[in-house]
Amino acid sequence: MEFALVLGLVVLIFAAAVTYVAGTDRRAERRATTRRRAHLARLGEVDPLAPAKLQAEMTRRPVN
């Protein structure tokens, strides 16, 4: 009985830790995206996919 109670508490703590870490990762990703968009806006770029499109165009055409 005591073993099952301790095991249940350990599983509960582990589940709470996993939930906390997953939430923290999502918040960090969201902050990074916001910072990136703000940086692009300061540079005058409104399309967040523009750098990727430019890179794709540069790989297709040789630069003289």
**What are the tens digits of pLDDT across the range 24-40?**
988 888 898 888 888 87
- For the chain, which residues make up each domain, given as ranges? 2-60
- Cα distance between residue 53 and residue 64, in whole Å: 19
Rounded CA separation 2/10 (Å): 12
Percent of the chain with pLDDT over 90: 34
Mean pLDDT for the chain overall: 82
Q: Is there a contact between 29 and 21 (Cβ–Cβ < 8 Å)?
A: no
Question: Nearest-CA neighbor of 24 among 35, 16, 12?
Answer: 16
Low-confidence ranges of the chain (pLDDT < 70): 46, 48-64
Q: Is the pTM of this model over 0.75?
A: no
**CA pair distance 10, 1, nearest whole angstrom:** 14
